[in-house]
Structures are given as C-alpha cells and as structure tokens.
Amino acid sequence: MSVDALYQEIILDHYKHPRGKGLLGESLAESFQVNPTCGDEVTVQVAGDPSDVLIGYEGQGCSISQASASVMSEMLNGTPVATIKEKRDAFIELMHAKGLGEPDEEVLEDGVAFAGVAKYPARVKCALLPWMALQDAAIKAGFITEEKS
Amino acid sequence: MTTALDVARIKKDFPILSRTVRGGHPLVYLDSAATSQKPECVLDAERAFYETSNAAVHRGAHQLAEEATQAYEDARAAIAGFVGGAPEDLIFTKNATEGINLVSYAFSNATAESAWGGSPDPRFILRPGDSILVTEMEHHANLVPWQQVCARTGATLRWIPLTEDGRLDLSDLGSLIDSSTKMVSVVHQSNILGTINPVRQIMDAAHAVGALGLVDACQSVPHMPVNVDELGADFITWSGHKMLGPTGIGLLWGRSEVLSGMSPFLSGGSMIESVYMDHSTFAAPPNRFEAGVPMVAQSVGLARAVAYLDELGMDAVHAHETELTAYALNALEQAPGVRIIGPTNSVDRGSAISFVVDGIHPHDVGQILDSEGVAVRVGHHCAWPTCRRFGVPATTRISTYIYNDSSDIDVAIEAISTAQRYFGTSTTSKQGCES
C-alpha cells in the first residue's frame, strides 16, 4: 500500500509495544503538549542531571505521535544533554526534509523509520509532538538554555 | 442508489470528482460537512463576472460599477429568497464564523457603549448575572465567541447538555432559560454528531423570556429546506462554501427589527451614512454590517449554487441524504469494531456521521482511507467539548452530499476493514492496541 512508507514496521511495533512508557515518580520539570488539530496529547517529564537525563512520558493519540514518543524515550532516556541535542536536531531536520532526508542510523536509530512521515505534512506535527515536549521540559529543568531549536 | 436524485448525472457536473488521488485511486469525497465541492456552473458564473462586469460595488459612476452592483444585489435577493427571507435582512460576511462574531460583538459593543452614557438597544446590554445559553454540541464558532462575550461583560455561559445517544437533553430547559437569559445560540444540525435539533422550540422558549436567538445553520441550509420564518430565530447564519458556493462568503440573516438596533461590527468604508472628523453615522442594514469592498464574485458564484440546488429541489436533496444516511448508518453499525458517536437512526439526523474504530486512532483511520482514495475528516471537528462529552479524543467523520451514493459508502466501509487488517486489530475484538 502507498502508506507503507509512512507506517514502517518499526513504527507500528513501537505503537503497539511502547518502550519506557509511564511517568517518573518525581521529576524536575514536565511539559504537556497537544496537537489541536487532532487532539493528540503527550506529557514528557525529565529528572536526573545534565550528564544523565531521565525521561518519562505518557500520552494518547495516533500511531505516529505515540511511536515517536516511544522511540525518543528508548533513544534518549539516560543520556547526556549533548546527546539529546544532537539527536533532536537530526530528528527535526529529518521531519522537515519532505521525505527526501537520508537519516544516519548511527544517530537516529529507530528514528530513521520516520523518514517517510515527512512526506505527509499533516503527520509531521504528530511525530514532532513528543520532541517538542522534551525540549520544553528540558528548558524548564535548566538542562537546555537555548530558546528554540 | 437513492431514488430522489440522479447522482450519476450530478457527479458529471463536478470536475474535481473525476480526478484520482494517491496513486490512481478514484476520489471518493466524503468530507462535504467541511466543505462541498463546486459544480462547473458555479465556477463559470464567477469567471464570467470577472470577465464581463468586474468592478467595486456601490461606488463608481461607470457601467461596470452599475453591473457589478446589480449582480451583487441580485445575488443577495436570490440567496435570501432561497431561505424565504427579504434581501435587506441578509448580510454578506466572509464566513459563518464572522456572522456569529458580528452578533456577539453587538452585545460587547452595546455593553461598552452603555457604560459611557450611550443608549444602545437594551436587548444587547449584558451585566453580571445575565446569561447566554448554547449547547454542548456547538462548533467552536458558536461557543468561543460567546465565552469571549462573557469574559468581556461578566455574563455567565450556560449550555444544554446531551443525552447518551447524541440528542439535546431538554428536560431542564425551563431552568436553563430564565429571566437572566439574554441570548440563546444553538446549532441546527450538529457538524460532529449529525443531530438535527428542535430549534423552533428553543427559540420560542428564548423569546418567552425576552431573549434573542441565533441558529447556526451551516449544516442544515445546504442539506434540507430551511425557511427563516419557520425557524423562529432572530439570527440565522451559514456559509456559502458548504452549499456548492465559493469560499470567502458567509451569510447572516437577521430580523430587520433587531438588525436596525445593532451597533456595527467592522467599521470603515461602505458602512457609513455620514462621516465627520469627530464622529460618524451609519448606514441602514445590511450595508451597516458590510464594511469595505465586499465579496462580489463570490456572491455571484453562490447565487448560481443556490439556483443549482433549486433546480434539484431541496426536498429531493433532503430525501436523497436521508436515504443515504440510513444506508451509511446501517453499514457502519454492521461493521465490526466500529462505534457511531451520535444518533444511530436517521430520524432528525443529517448526513455527518462520526465514528471510532476500536484500537485505531482516527488519524490513522483517516490515513488508510486516504490511501484508498477516500477523503474524510478526522480529529475533534472543532467540537472538542462534544468529543470530551463522549469520552473520545477524536473521531473519524464521513459526510455526504448530492454527489455521493451508496457505492461511495461501500468503498469507505471496505477501507475501514483494510485499516483494521493493516493495524492488526481483530475485527471482532474490542481489545485495542493502545496500551
């Protein structure tokens, strides 16, 4: 089907079997983000310290938004801020590549499966939702000082 | 398949319906509650206006200005006539949202003017303790403006709750409409649930306590015969683009006696009587509410759309849609894992049908349908509180019109089962894959 590029098996697997889902017992900061056009919701919490950022999340929504949260959590939970920034930049670049991006699997790991999402403008927002929540929570926690990516 | 309309012939009038989408699938357009497609005659009428008579209306001494003004006012008369109203009571707006804002600002403006010693129509002055009534199934366009009015004036917003099957629960109407009520604004046909509401009863209750009443008729005027006198409202608003007309034009009909007491909404050119450096006086309705150069070509296109609907006959349009809605409701009810949000029978029900598919988010349902050529709306349909009421974050919605038939529904139903196979949700299980 034409949507096979969108719904990669990795994405469907993360959607059906989300990794690391659940909120932290205690957190330094959290961010609730919502996609007002479709009602997708995600809450991301951060804890720990800049060398070892702990990430918790909860949410409801479409397969793309929820799989993206799962991939992000699996990739970044327990990593230093520098890693978060590097992978965040790579993921955002991929999402804005209109489907022409050639992601580096070394950097984005399961995130490479989202390359096809960038061909569907209405779904890019879904994929970015948890990443925006992480960015916001990390700024609130003082882990990231820049205002925007 | 319905008996009231010759859909095969009608389809030929709509150029867009012959295109393919997503790798060669014939377009199955089931999103007419969002916007309708346009027949060639509407496109031709708009183009012909630009090619022969284009000019700014109500100004200019030349022949084109005369012809453009005539076309604009002829359009007003034709569209007013379509709903049994008088042309001088019909205001052109950019969309229905503007129509509701125009009325809501009449309240805000009158309240502000009265605080400075002005003497606006007292029916539009709001004070703390006054109330405005809407329903729990309003489109945001008929909810947010009233929230804003309350925030500016101290009035209280009330709403009529819903029953489980998606109807208005009118059991408490007697206490919801009381001596504090100044405005009652309700949707005629819900854009998310499809419910057709007994607006006449509600308008009569509003008038019994001296309140004004507005009916949001965006989903009813395109689909069924509507007569302004029979609805019994003070204001009726709807949009052109949902009834085969162009985008950029909406309608607000008002009772002349009420319109004449209203402060203007947008101000500037065209809406004045006299202008001095320190003050101005305003034109009579409808011009008072049409500041700036209006949407002339769009009015011409919409007048042609109204003529097209008249040629089909609104009774026939309504009969066709009722029959097709019954077919779609039945097909969705038979489909395993599908739950309809809203009335499940076609009594007092329009053709917008919302549903959820167990275990598959509406956004994903819509994506798979799109990949099969089926265009539907997903999300909260600008009726987020209604979604919350039914405990769903979003729904998938199919909505039909004169160019749809049962084969379109069949394609959609098949695409839903394709989505279920794709996402691996058992077609009989209620178990979702969301964990």
Put residue A49 in one of left, alpha, beta given phi > 0 → left and psi -120 to 50 → alpha: beta
The H helix count followed by the E strand count for chain B is: 14, 17
| B395 to chain A, closest Cα gap in Å | 9
The pLDDT tens digits for B236-255 are 999 999 999 999 999 999 99
Chain B residues touching residue A126 (CB < 8 angstroms): 363
| A103 to chain B, closest Cα gap in Å | 24
Contact by Cβ (8 Å): B376, B400: no
User: Cβ separation of B367 and A3 shorter than 8 Å?
Assistant: yes
- Token match 């969301």: residue? B434
| A72 to chain B, closest Cα gap in Å | 17
The pLDDT tens digits for B353-388 are 999 999 999 999 999 999 999 999 999 999 999 999
Asked if residue B431 has pLDDT above 50, the reply is: no
Mutation pick from B21, B354, B358, B367 vs chain A, by most beta carbons of A within 10 Å, is: B367
Number of cross-chain residue pairs from A and B with Cβ atoms under 8 Å apart: 60
What ipTM was predicted for this assembly? 0.91
User: Which is nearest to B202 in space by CA: B189, B215, B191?
Assistant: B215
Pick the catalytic residue from B41, B382, B387, B433.
B382
Q: What is the pLDDT of residue B60?
A: 81
User: Cβ separation of B367 and A15 shorter than 8 Å?
Assistant: no
B218 is annotated as an active-site residue: no
Smallest Cβ–Cβ distance between B364 and the set A21, A37, A63 belongs to A63
User: Which is nearest to B121 in space by CA: B300, B261, B260, B222?
Assistant: B261
Domain limits, chain A: 2-140
Q: What is the pLDDT of residue B429?
A: 43
CATH 1.20.140.150 fits A2-140, yes or no: no
The pLDDT tens digits for B47-93 are 999 999 999 998 888 999 999 999 999 999 999 999 999 999 999 99
C-alpha distances in angstroms, B320 versus B5, B6, B351, B399?
A: 6, 10, 10, 13
Q: Which residue of A has its CA nearest to B21?
A: A2
User: Cβ separation of A38 and B378 shorter than 8 Å?
Assistant: yes
Mutation pick from A38, A58, A70 vs chain B, by most beta carbons of B within 10 Å, is: A38
How far apart CA B284 and CA B87 sit, in angstroms, is: 13
CATH 3.40.640.10 residue window(s) in chain B:
46-309
Q: What is the pLDDT of residue B55?
A: 95
Asked if residue B432 has pLDDT above 60, the reply is: no
Cis peptide before B385, with omega less than 30 degrees from 0? no
Asked if residue B34 has pLDDT above 80, the reply is: yes
The pLDDT tens digits for B195-251 are 999 999 999 999 999 999 999 999 999 999 999 999 999 999 999 999 999 999 999
User: Cβ separation of B380 and A21 shorter than 8 Å?
Assistant: no
Contact by Cβ (8 Å): B136, B160: yes
Chain A residues touching residue B21 (CB < 8 angstroms): none
| B121 to chain A, closest Cα gap in Å | 38
Chain B residues touching residue A60 (CB < 8 angstroms): 393, 434
- Structure tokens, B52: 């022969």
pTM: 0.94
The pLDDT tens digits for A88-113 are 999 999 999 887 888 889 999 999 99
CATH 3.90.1150.10 residue window(s) in chain B:
7-30+313-422
User: Cβ separation of A38 and B364 shorter than 8 Å?
Assistant: no
Classified by CATH at the fold level, domain B7-30+313-422 comes out as: Aspartate Aminotransferase, domain 1 (3.90.1150)
CATH code linked to domain B46-309: 3.40.640.10
Residues 6+ apart with CB under 8 A from B166: B137, B190, B193, B194, B195, B341, B342, B343, B390
Chain B residues touching residue A39 (CB < 8 angstroms): 379-380, 384, 387, 393-394
Dihedral, CA atoms, B299, B305, B308, B310, nearest 10 degrees?
Answer: -70
Asked if residue B14 has pLDDT above 80, the reply is: yes
User: Cβ separation of A61 and B367 shorter than 8 Å?
Assistant: no
